[in-house]
């Protein structure tokens, strides 16, 4: 439950992105196509961002992630051999065009009134500042009344979407619609 709460929080911060890339096609189309990948790369190149440097992330709702298995250009993390990048360790599920892809059910939580359904986010690491003053800690206590163990996890964290006065400052985060 804590991980889902944190995930929802960061999706809420990313929802403040003002730039939009239309990748959805027709209504109800939850498929990512090569032309959509080209649109992502074009947006990054237009903002003078090197997407191959490892500083750009693509977060998709589950349906869009599932459609990526149809693409020859998608490299799944569980078959490329890096134990660090194994999905259960880092959340990294694969890459397309050199951009790491992550999946989040928080993205699937609704629509944006201004742009319609949001399928995901593309962002450079400089677009989002994340701070943890206390990393998640786990405490447990045996409860004789229920013959079980109570577990409590807490974390203190925050995030801020970075926006600036220059046009390039604004173009580091995109909603995918």
Which residues have a Cβ under 8 Å from the Cβ of 72 and sit 6 or more positions away? none
**What pLDDT, on the 0 to 100 scale, is given for residue 80?**
63
Alpha-carbon gap, residue 36 to 53, rounded angstroms: 20
Q: Does residue 133 sit in helix, strand or coil?
A: strand
Identify whether the C-beta of residue 21 lies closer than 8 Å to the C-beta of residue 121: no
Tokens of 15: 């929802």
Residue numbers of the chain with a pLDDT score lower than 50: 83-84, 86-87, 89
Alpha-carbon gap, residue 138 to 79, rounded angstroms: 32
Q: Look-up: residue for tokens 């459609």?
A: 67
Torsion of CA 78, 106, 15, 175, to 10 degrees: 50
Alpha-carbon gap, residue 115 to 143, rounded angstroms: 49
**What pLDDT, on the 0 to 100 scale, is given for residue 111?**
58
**What pLDDT, on the 0 to 100 scale, is given for residue 1?**
64
**What pLDDT, on the 0 to 100 scale, is given for residue 113?**
59
Predicted TM-score of the model (pTM): 0.75
Q: Could you say which DSSP state residue 26 is in?
A: S
| CB burial readout 139-177, b (16+ within 10 A) else e | eeeeeeeeeeeeeeeeeeeebebeeeeeeeebbbbbbbb
**What pLDDT, on the 0 to 100 scale, is given for residue 108?**
64
């Amino acid at each position: 439950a804590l991980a889902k709460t944190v995930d929802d929080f960061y999706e809420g911060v990313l929802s403040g992105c003002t730039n939009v890339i239309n990748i959805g096609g027709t209504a109800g189309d939850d498929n990512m196509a090569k032309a959509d990948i080209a649109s992502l790369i074009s947006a990054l190149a237009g903002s003078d961002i090197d997407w191959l440097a490892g500083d750009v992330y693509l977060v998709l709702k589950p349906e869009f992630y599932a459609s990526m298995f149809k693409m020859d250009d998608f490299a799944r993390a569980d078959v490329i051999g890096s134990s660090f990048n194994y999905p259960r360790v880092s959340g990294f599920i694969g890459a397309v065009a050199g951009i790491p892809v992550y999946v989040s059910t928080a993205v699937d939580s609704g629509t944006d009134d201004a742009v319609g359904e949001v399928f995901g986010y593309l962002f450079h690491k400089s677009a989002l500042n994340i701070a943890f003053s206390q990393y998640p800690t786990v405490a447990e206590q045996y409860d004789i009344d229920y013959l079980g163990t109570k577990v409590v996890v807490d974390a203190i964290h925050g995030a801020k979407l970075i926006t600036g006065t220059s046009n390039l400052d604004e173009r580091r985060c995109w909603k995918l619609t």
